[in-house]
Amino acid sequence: MTDQASYDQFRVRGPVSLRGVVKISGAKNAALAAMCASLLTDEDVVLSNVPAISDATDIAELITRIGGAGSQEQGGALRLSGRGVHSTEAPKDLIKRNRASFQVMGPLLARHGHAACPMPGGDSIGQRPIDVHIDGFRALGAEVDWSGDRWVASAPRGLRGAQIFMDYPSVSGTQNVLMAAVLAKGHSVIANAATEPEVRDLAELLRVMGANISGIGTQWIEVEGVPALRGAAWSVMPDRIEAGTFAAAAAATSGTVRIEGAPIASMEAPLAKIAAAGATVTRDGEAIAIGPGRSPLDAIHLQALPYPGLPTDLQAQMTAMLTQAKGESHIFERVFDNRLLYVDELRKMGADITVAQTRSAAVVRGPTRLHGTRVFALDVRAGAAVLLAALVAEGTTVIEDIYHLDRGYERLEEKLRGLGVEVERVHGV
């Protein structure tokens, strides 16, 4: 995030009914982990379909700052490797602003027997402990201590395969521990592993790099450690969250949108819920067509859960969509404990939403006429929710702090314009 970008805002003119075709970019959460995996080898890992988002720029910077190799090919692919790494200390500024960068810890520990990382920062969406990562490294034989300002892990004689039980099926925890286990000596089992498609994508990349992994995509991942990994060429899976965001936006605006290149097989939950609310959802090869259906939409209930449940990363956008649905929709957030803060922003626009005292459930009453006003993108998905609301709102919505959106959505205003949205990025002063 540059100082300039930190003050950028979007001005969105509504209401608009989305129309056209949108092409989905590579998945943020798969790409960031794949970039970290390049530290596991001295050979080149060439990653295509990495989205041009600021979170990816941060990880590339981290890799090169600790000495690793990083360059961009013509055509956009990233060529990365752990060749030349001279430091196993992850820079504090990068770890603080980008939580995913904590995932360099597993690869560094596995390859160099040492890794140090400050406590990761990231979005304010509730408690984000990292005990699952730390417990996994300890199970693999590392000594891990909090030194007052950073986690320090060491395993001078290398990691050993182990039986690992994850207290919670953490997405980045599973990715981090898996990246450590692939070079550990012997057999590992990761029980209660996260089954998110982005974990599967990483595991498949690791397999192409020579790792011996089975149970990919299940809650029991088994690894037979290998002494070294090799380079690979890999195309990152498409982003189901970006695809779901455009699908919800199309449904909210009674639009007609063809979403191309989406990972449809991993989008059952959002597509089922959008169809239940009354939009037309057609799966057509690798494209999803969203069209107008019942008008207004119908209220539905939904709960954000680990995969294959509805992704927590789509909860806010679905809530924004449901402001246009008739009746009372009940929303339950079951992954993070404070991920409804964006509701206050939607209320400023006229939404009728009540949040339960537990802060993990909300009731949306609709349909409501939203109006443009000044709102904040509180995190990447909260930002997507206010953007979606801006599309249905009367008048101009000014969205502040859009650097959050830049962290997760590639070429967002260009894609929106392609669907008929009048959106302008205003650089702050």
CB of residue 171 vs ligand UD1: minimum separation in angstroms?
3
First to last CA, the chain: 15
Residue 116 or 392 with smaller CB distance to ligand UD1 = 116
By CB under 6 A, name the binding residues for ligand UD1: 29, 32, 99-100, 127-133, 168, 170-173, 194, 312-313, 335-336
Residue 99 or 273 with smaller CB distance to ligand UD1 = 99
CB of residue 99 vs ligand UD1: minimum separation in angstroms?
6
| The two structure tokens encoding residue 315 | 């909860």
CB of residue 121 vs ligand UD1: minimum separation in angstroms?
11
Residue 171 or 385 with smaller CB distance to ligand UD1 = 171
Cα–Cα dist 110/225, whole Å = 11
Residue 14 or 270 with smaller CB distance to ligand UD1 = 270
CB of residue 125 vs ligand UD1: minimum separation in angstroms?
7
CB of residue 295 vs ligand UD1: minimum separation in angstroms?
31
Cα–Cα dist 194/176, whole Å = 11
Q: In what order do the strands lie in the sheet with 78-81?
A: 69-72, 78-81, 45-48, 232-235
- CB-based burial, 158-171: b 16+ in 10 Å, e otherwise: bbbbbebebeebbb
| The two structure tokens encoding residue 425 | 């990025």
Count the neighbouring beta carbons within 10 Å of the beta carbon of residue 285: 7
Residue 198 or 400 with smaller CB distance to ligand UD1 = 198
Strands (DSSP E) contained in 45-193 are 45-48, 69-72, 78-81, 114-117, 143-146, 151-154, 163-165, 187-191
Residue 270 or 367 with smaller CB distance to ligand UD1 = 270
Residue 44 or 401 with smaller CB distance to ligand UD1 = 401
Residue 297 or 331 with smaller CB distance to ligand UD1 = 331
CB of residue 144 vs ligand UD1: minimum separation in angstroms?
12
Task: Decide: 161 and 223 in contact? Cβ < 8 Å.
Answer: yes
Task: Decide: 113 and 156 in contact? Cβ < 8 Å.
Answer: yes
Count the neighbouring beta carbons within 10 Å of the beta carbon of residue 145: 12
Task: Decide: 316 and 343 in contact? Cβ < 8 Å.
Answer: no
CB of residue 374 vs ligand UD1: minimum separation in angstroms?
26
Give bridge partners of residue 235 from the DSSP assignment: 48
CB of residue 38 vs ligand UD1: minimum separation in angstroms?
16
Element at 269 (helix H, strand E): helix 268-276
